Amino acid sequence: MPGKAKGGNKKDNNTGKANTTSSNNIARRIGNKPARKKKANWLKSSLQGLKIIFILIAVLLLLIFAGGLTLLYAYIQGVPEFNPGKLTPPVTSYIYDREGNELTALYYDQNRIEISLDKIPQHVQNAFIAIEDERYYDHIGVDPIGIARAFMTNLRQRRWTEQGGSTITQQLIKTAFLTPEKTFERKVQEAYLAIKMERRYSKDEILEMYLNQIPFAHGAHGIEVASNIYFQKSTAELTIAEAALLAGIPRAPNYYSPYINKDAALQRQGLVLQKMYELDFISHRQLREAKEQEIVLATPPSREYPHPYFIDYVLHRELIEILMSLPQFSTREEAYEAIYNRGLKVYTTLDTEIQEITQSVISDASLYPQNLSVDMQKMKELLAQKEYASYPEEVLVEDGIFQPQGAAVVADPVSGEVLALVGGRDYSQDNQTLRYMSARQPGSAIKPIVTYAPALEENLITPGSIIDDAPFVRKDWAPENFDRIFRGLVTVRESLVRSLNVPAVKVFENLTPSIGLDYGKRMGLTTIHNDDYNLATTLGGLTHGVTAFDMAQAYAVLANQGIKVKLHTVKKIEDRHGQMIYEYRNEPQSILSPQTAYLITEMLKDVVRRGTASRLRIGRPVAAKTGTTSDNRDAYLIAYTPDLVVSVWLGHDIPILGRISGGSSTTVPFMNDILSRILEKREPLDFSRPPGISGPINICSKSGLRPGIHCPPDSIVSELFPTALVPQESCNLHLEMEICSASRLLPGEYCPTYEIIRGKFLLRPEYETTDERWRGTPGRIPQDAELAAPREQCNLHTEAAPPPAGLNLYLLENPRRVNLWWEWQDNVKEYLVYRQVINSDGQVFLQKLPGTVNQFVDQHIENDVVYIYRIVAVTNAGVRSLPAERAITIPPQGESDRGPVEGEWEHNREGRDPTGHPANGRGDTVDPHNLEA
C-alpha cells in the first residue's frame, strides 16, 4: 500500500531522512526504568528510618519528661508546709567555756529597726536587686535565666550544686523552711515554695521583708541598723556608693564587713556598682562619682563579748576551718553564715580564770620597760606606708612614749587544750590584733626545736657531748655569741643553758638544716620558708619568724614526753537541734622519743636554775628557754611544767620603731606572774624519767669522757645520758707535763732547771683568732686556750753560755778538803757547783754561789776516791753555760795528793744535773760550809 514502508524507517517529509527521535526517546525510557525504581525505594526506606528515630526520641523525651515530672512530684511531696510564721530571723548561736558556761551569743538580729519599703530610697533597693536578683520584678519566684546561668557555671566547674541561681524570694525561703545542704531536691523544693510565696505576697512585700532581715555583721540586722552602724545615718540618707557597699555585705557579712576586711568590702562594692550601671539603675556619671566617693566609716561598734582575744581566734580561725571541713559547708561564706545564723552551740577549751589572769598580766603596764620618746614625724611617715596602715597611732604611742606590746598562749600539753589566748595589752576597737598569731623572730628560743632536740633524737649528741665554742667561719659568715666571748670546749648542756650561738651553729651544721627544720615542722612550726634552710636559722634568723602559738605547740611536744597533741580551742559543736556535728578527736603523734624529750627538758630546767631564765622562780620544777633578737626588737620566753605550757612574746607592732630594753630578761616577770598565779592551787609535779636514761655520771667537761687522773676538779660535772651512749673511756685531753716557766713552752736543752716546772694542761683543738670578719674586737681566742698544752719548745733559752775559765782544784789538809778556783767573769748571776764520783751514775749538786764569787771549798769529801767537779755559770739573762770540768784524786788518809787523774785533765764539755737536764740553774749564794742547799 502506498505511504507505508514495511520493515523500514519512517522518513521525514522534508528531508527524506528516517525519523529516529521518537524511537530514541522510547528506547531511553525503556532503558532507565530499573534505576528510577531503585532510587525511589532507597528514599522510601530512609524516610521510614527517620520516622522510627523521631518516634524513639519522642518516646525517650516523653519518658524523661514523665520521669522528671515523677521526680519533681516526689520532691514536691516532701516539701515542708508553707508557714508564714517561719519567716522569722535566724537562730542565735552560742559559745561556751570548758565548763559549759555560756560566754556569748552570736547573732545578726540583736539590733533591728523595721522600716517600710516606701522609706527606702530606690537606689538602695536597686543596689540589692542588682547584686542579688537582677530580674526580681520579672520572675515568679524562680529565675529560669539565673538557673540556666548557674547550670552552665556548675557544668564548667563539674560541681552540680555549687551555683543555684537563688532569687531574693528563694533566699528567704531557704533560711525559713529548708535545710542548708546543696542538693537538687532542696533546690526544687526551694523553687516550689518561692513560687508559692510570690502568690501570697507582693513583690514589694517580699523585698521589704528581705531588706529588714538580711544580716550585716556586728549585730546589725536589716538595712536601717546597718546604715546607723556603718555610717551613722538613716537609710534615707545613704548615697549610691554607701548603698552599694552595704548591698555587698550580706553575701558573707563577717567576711565582707569593712571593719573586718575593708579591701574585700570595697572590691565587692565595685561589683555592685558595675551591676547597677549595666542594669541602667545608674548613669555613667553616677557610676564614676560613686567610685570616686571616699567611704568614711563610723566608729566600729563596741565588742560586747568577754575574752575577745580567745573568742576571736575561735570564730575567725579554728571554727571556720572546722566548719569548712564538714560536707555541709563548702565556702567561708557558708561557714560564717552557720556561725551567726544556724543556732550552733560551740563548746570551747577556754579556762576563764586562766584567761583573766593572763590578760591582767599582759595588760600590766608596770611590767613593761619604759622606752624613750618616739620621733612622731617618723611615726607618721611610717603609718602612711601601706604595710603599717592598719596600726592606729593612738595604739602605738601614749603620752609620747612608744608602747611595746605583748602576747601569751597558755595550753595543756597533754590534752592539747588551749586554756588562754591574749593578743595584746588591752582589747579595743583599735587594738584587735591577735599578736600570738603574728610571726616574729624567735632568737635562741628556736634552738631546742630545730637543733638540739633533733640532734639528740638522731643520736648525734648527748647532753655531755663536747662542742668547741671557738671562732669559725662559714661562707663569709662568722657567728658570734651574744656577749662576744668564746668559751672553748663546752658541753651541749652548757651551750644550751648559756644560750651560746657558736655551738648551736656547729650542731645545726652537723645535723643539716633540712633535718632540723623537718623536725621543727612536725613539732608545730607552720611559718618555715624555703629560704630558711641555712645555718642562721638556728639563731632565729628566719624569713618570716614564728608565732607564739606555734612555739607553744612545739614546746608542748617536749612537755608531753615527745608526743604532739594538736593545740585546739573547740571541743565540740552542736547544731540548733542539739545534734553533734563535730567533736575533737585526739590523734597524738610521736615526734621525739621520751628519752630525748626528757634530756632536753632536764637541760632547760638548768636554764631556769642557772641560765638565761634564772630569775624565773615559781617554787616547782619548770623548764624554759629565752629568745632575743640581736637588736632586742623581739623577746620570747617559753616555759613549761608537766601540765602547762606558756609562750610569751614582747615587742612592738612596728619593730623598726622600738626595742625591748633588757631583751628576753624582760619577759621573766610576766612569766613569773602567769605561772605563779595559775599554779598556786595545783600540786607541784616533776617530769617523769623514762627508762633508758643513765646517770648522773661524772664526766670531764672538756672531753665528755670519764674523768682522768689529771682532770682538775672544776672540770668534773655530773651528766645524764641515753643508756646506750654512756662514755666508757677516760679523759684524754687533760695531761701533766714539764714546761719552761719563763716561756710557758716545752723545755729546751738549755732551759734552767729552776725554770722547769710540771703543770696540768689541755690538749684542745686548734682554733682561729678573730679578725675583721667578726663583729667584735679582733684578736679574740677561746677562753680555755690558756689551758692548752704547748706544742713548741722554749724560745728564750736557745743556746748555752761559755763555760767558766781557769778551773783549778786543790786538795788541802787538816782538815781535808778540796778547794775550787776559777777566773772571775762579767755578766754572771750565779755559779752552780756539781760533784760526781768517777765511774758512778749521776752527779751531786753542791752549791749555788753568787756571780761575784770565784772559789768554793768542798769539806765533805771521802778518802781514796776520784771526784769530778763541774762549774756552770748562769748569766744575768738566766742562760746556763757549758760546764767547766776537772777531776781530782783523794788518796787514802796519810797519803798526799797524787794530782789530777790521767785523761781527766781540765777540759770543758756539756754537763747534766742529777735530773738529766742541762746543768744551768739559778740559785742564791750559800755558806760554803752548809751544803744543804
Model confidence pLDDT, tens digit, residues 693-703: 999 999 999 99
> SS in 3 state form for 196-233?
HHHHHCCHHHHHHHHHHHCEEECCEECHHHHHHHHHCC
More reliable by pLDDT, 277 or 88: 277
Give dist(CA 931, CA 847) in Å, integer: 6
pLDDT score, position 85: 67
User: Which pLDDT score is estimated for 631?
Assistant: 79
Query: Position of cell 570595697?
Result: 266
Question: pLDDT per residue over 100-148, tens digit each?
Answer: 999 998 876 556 777 899 999 999 999 999 999 999 999 998 888 877 7
In angstroms, the CA 288 to CA 143 distance is 30
Confidence of residue 401 (pLDDT cuts 50, 70, 90): low
Tell me the average pLDDT across 368-374: 63
Mean pLDDT of 256-276: 95
| Residue 212 confidence (pLDDT) | 85
Higher pLDDT, 235 or 375: 235
Determine the pLDDT at residue 227.
95
87 neighbors 176 (Cβ within 8 angstroms): yes
Contact 909, 884 (CB under 8 A): no
Beta strand 102-106 pairing with 865-875? unpaired
- Whether residue 741 contacts residue 757, with contact meaning beta carbons closer than 8 Å, is answered with yes
Q: Indicate the pLDDT class of residue 268, thresholds 50, 70 and 90.
A: very high
Distance of CA 421 to the CA centre of its chain: 18
What's the grid cell of residue 438? 603574728
| Per-residue pLDDT, 30 | 43
User: What Cα–Cα distance (Å) separates residue 720 from each residue in 478, 491, 697?
Assistant: 32, 12, 6
The three cell numbers locating residue 89: 530571723
Output the pTM of the full model.
0.67
Of 601, 612, 602, which Cα lies nearest the Cα of 637? 612
More confident residue, 177 or 779: 779
- In sequence order, what are the residues at sequence separation of 6 or more whose Cβ sits closer than 8 angstroms to the Cβ of residue 794? 740, 742, 743, 745, 746, 747, 748, 750, 751
Q: What is the pLDDT of residue 866?
A: 95
Pick the residue with more confidence: 682 or 34? 682
pLDDT score, position 15: 41
832-858: per-residue pLDDT in tens? 999 999 988 888 999 999 999 999 999
Partners of 736 in beta bridges: 760
* pLDDT, tens digit (0-9, with 9 covering 90-100), for 687-740: 999 999 999 999 999 999 999 999 999 999 999 999 999 999 999 999 999 999
Question: What does each C-alpha distance from 230 to 80, 107, 126, 260 come to in angstroms?
Answer: 37, 17, 19, 12
Could you tell me the pLDDT band of residue 741, with boundaries at 50, 70 and 90? confident
**Higher-confidence residue: 23 or 604?**
604
pLDDT tens digit string along 609-647? 999 999 999 999 999 999 998 778 899 999 999 999 999
Q: What is the pLDDT of residue 570?
A: 98
Tell me, what's the pLDDT at 36?
54
Contact call for residues 479 and 468 (beta carbons, < 8 A)? no
pLDDT for res 192: 84
800 vs 457, higher pLDDT: 457
Residue-averaged pLDDT of the chain? 85
Residue-wise pLDDT for 314-355, tens only, equals: 999 999 999 999 998 988 999 998 998 888 999 999 999 999
Strand, coil or helix: 840: coil
* 3-state helix/strand/coil string of 726-758: CCCCECCCEEEEEEECCCCEECCCCCCHHHEEE
| Residue closest to 450 by CA, chosen among 588, 549, 587, 550 | 550
Judge residue 872's burial from the number of C-beta atoms within 10 Å of its C-beta, 0-12 exposed, 13-18 middle, 19 or more buried.
Answer: buried
Element (H, E) at 719: strand 716-722
On whether the CB atoms of residues 887 and 895 are closer than 8 A, the answer is no
Residue 265 to residues 221, 254, 256, 258, 335: CA-CA distances in angstroms?
17, 10, 5, 5, 18
At 374, the pLDDT band (50, 70, 90 cuts) reads: low
What is the three-class DSSP state of 451? helix
Q: What is the mean pLDDT of residues 46-58?
A: 75
Q: Which residues pair with 837 in a beta bridge?
A: 867
- Residue partners of 698: CB distance under 8 A and separation at least 6: 706, 707, 716, 717, 718, 719
Cell of 350: 577556754
Mean pLDDT over 361-367 rounds to 93
- pLDDT of residue 905 exceeding 60, the answer is no
Any idea of the CA torsion for 812, 813, 814, 818, to the nearest 10 degrees?
A: 40
Least confident window among 62-71, 470-479, 502-511: 62-71
pLDDT at 915: 32
- Percent of the chain exceeding pLDDT 90 equals 60
Q: CA end-to-end span of the chain, whole Å? A: 194
Q: Report pLDDT for 388.
A: 61
Distance CA 606, CA 260 (A): 45
